[in-house]
Amino acid sequence: MEFKNWILDRLFGVVLEEESGEEAQAEDSVKQEEVLGSAKQPVQEEAPEQEAPRRRDSLGLSLDHPFIRLYELWAEEVRDAPLPHLRLDHWEDTPDGVLEQELAGLRKAFTLVAADRLEKISKWRQKKDMADKQRALLEKLKAAKEEKGQLTEEEEALLSGKGGITQEILEVLPLEMDALPLVYITRDQLAAWLIVFPPVGAGKELEKSMLEKVLGESSVSFGVDAELLENLSGKEDRYFHLFQIAKGQPVLHGKDGYIEEFFERTVKQKFAENEHGKVDYFNLNLVQNVEKGEVICRSVPPVEGVSGRTVQNKEISCRTGKAVQLPKGQNTEISKDGTELLAVKSGRVEFSGRGFQVKSVLEISGNVDFSTGNINFVGDVHIHGDVSSGFRVHTIGDITIDGVVEAAEIEAGGNLIVAKGISGDSRAVIRAHHDIYAMYMENCSVHSNGNIQTDCIVNCDVYCDGEIQVRSGRGTIVGGRVRAARGVSSKIVGSRSESITTISLGGQPCADYERESLLQSLDALEKEMEKVEKQPESPARTKRMAKIRLDLSVGRMKLGRFDKELKKIQEQLEEQGGSKLKCDVAYPGMILNIGEETMHLTKETSMVHARMFNGEIILM
């Protein structure tokens, strides 16, 4: 019996009550040989003692569950009754929530049927027991009358049928309950499960016609297992066994089309250092070059969906996939078959936010000097040599310079890359509306609306609205003044000779510089207005006054916009914890400004981590 309980517990989470006698032990022995084989192996002996977890797809039933009680009654009448099988086979990968819902629905369905059959059996047995008792009483009365010759008046009434024992009570028809198949359809109507309850008494065994009838009543007509339907009535385990009698066709929803891109939408900076800790500024890979006719991206068409069908032969409509549009931008075209985006000409690929575009690249094979003159271009510029002193390079795109920038003026609408560095002779002015990458910066004025990455900064006037990184190579900031909105990170700040090196953090340095320049321009315009107003009336005076008023109005509008932007940016910096200075070594002579606070460093300090705390500058 222990072995049977072990098997039942693992099949559907129940155990049967203990039987007594040698027959039960013998039956367990036979069952064990049939399931595990006659070979005596250590694993077989230890198996009943192991605590195996219950399967997710099995039903957990209590010992007094109607299904178990009905099975026990049937097993008493049928020798070698097959063990029940109550698992949703092949549903192991079903999500827990869905599986539990189906198990709960199935339990409810066959619990009602099992309870109903048990109730009918119980009522029949009660009626039969009563009839048996009444017949025994009548037989006893007959025997007593023959022996004594007479009975009491009450006993005579019972014997004659006038005392309540009628022929209807005495004649109990044999119990007759045919085999009963039950069909359960899952919530998604993609599966139909079948369980058959055995006949009781003189009831009919399972027949194919019974299965066809219950399938018809449940409207199950699609995906029916014809082989199971044909052979189930002859299978040994046809009763108390859960079968999947029908399987629907799952719906396959369409998949949306997508864009296969061969160029990045956002190019991330990658600083690859060599064994000496130096960055190769020749190969920052910030420029994505494209040749004329080259494929920029390709559209992958959507996948059509396939409608599903329930076991009740109802269609499940599918969702169709949506096509995507190629992100076409300037200097690109769509191929004839409409699947590829091509570059119209060679240049640099960028993503503008709405589409890919190709920008022209001006190639300067040598230096920018008297042979080329000043450069003013609407695209990107790649200079393979140096930019000589006294010359200007202005573009609305990116500038890449393979050589050195001398005392020149450089302005890039995008990023600026100077592979060999900047030697400004205190006259160079460098501006970039995005990031600046240079091997070194010496004796120059630098303005960056983005971040700055370099190996060293020497005697420079730097304005940076982002973060300044001086960690590669020498990693030194010496002399001059460095202003950064989001922080400065360097190996060394200052020098052993105590060079005055000023680090200012916070605010928006470039915007502050432009605001200060704007204030100076407004002041100059107001002074000029006062002079012009004192002049006698004339057409020239009227024209000049109108021009000054317009310039003042535009300047004041810009000033108001600057003030709003600066306030917003300052709030963002405060939310992020403010600006910080990080360096491995800071020498005396360093002056640190954060907001309105100033700190003069008087001794050499290692591992500096400076920031504002409670209105004061602290070194950590």
CA gap 325, 342 in Å, rounded = 14
Mean pLDDT of the region 557-571: 72
Q: What is the mean pLDDT of residues 96-125?
A: 83
Model pLDDT for residues 15-27, shown as the tens digit of each residue: 444 444 444 444 4
Instruction: Place 447 in a pLDDT band, splitting at 50, 70 and 90.
Output: very high
Q: What are 57-84's pLDDT values in tens digits?
A: 566 677 788 888 888 888 888 878 888 8
Question: At residue 202, does pLDDT exceed 50?
Answer: yes
Band of residue 468 on the pLDDT scale cut at 50, 70, 90: very high
Instruction: Name the DSSP letter for residue 499.
Output: -
The pTM for the full model equals 0.52
- DSSP 8-state code for residue 343: E
CA atoms within 13 A on the CB side of 333: 9
Distance of alpha carbon 399 from alpha carbon 348, whole angstroms: 12
Contacts of 130 (CB under 8 A, 6+ apart): 169
What is the average pLDDT across 40-67? 56
Contact between 83 and 71 (Cβ < 8 Å): no
d(CA 322, CA 303) in angstroms, rounded, equals: 8
User: Can you give the pLDDT at residue 495?
Assistant: 92
Average pLDDT over residues 102-106: 82
531-537: average pLDDT: 84
pLDDT tier for residue 48 given thresholds of 50, 70 and 90: very low
Task: Supply the pLDDT for residue 13.
Answer: 41
Please give the Cα distance from 610 to 505 (Å, whole number): 10
Please, where are the H alpha helices in 464-508? none
Confidence of residue 30 (pLDDT cuts 50, 70, 90): very low
- Rounded Cα distance between 316 and 573, Å, is 54
Cα first-last separation, the chain = 75
pLDDT score at 409 = 94
**What pLDDT, on a 0 to 100 scale, did the predictor assign at position 542?**
84
Residue 273, Cα to own-chain centre: how many angstroms? 34
In whole angstroms, how far apart are CA 442 and each of 61, 157, 261, 406, 488?
83, 132, 41, 10, 17
pLDDT band for position 385 (cuts 50, 70, 90)? very high
HEC string for 50-81: CCCCCCCCECCCCCCCHHHHHHHHHHHHCCCC
Question: Residue type at 526?
Answer: E
- pLDDT at residue 284 in the model: 65
pLDDT tens digits for range 330-361: 899 999 999 999 999 888 888 888 899 988 88
Mean pLDDT of the chain: 81
Question: What pLDDT score does 564 carry?
Answer: 74
pLDDT value at 318 more than 50? yes
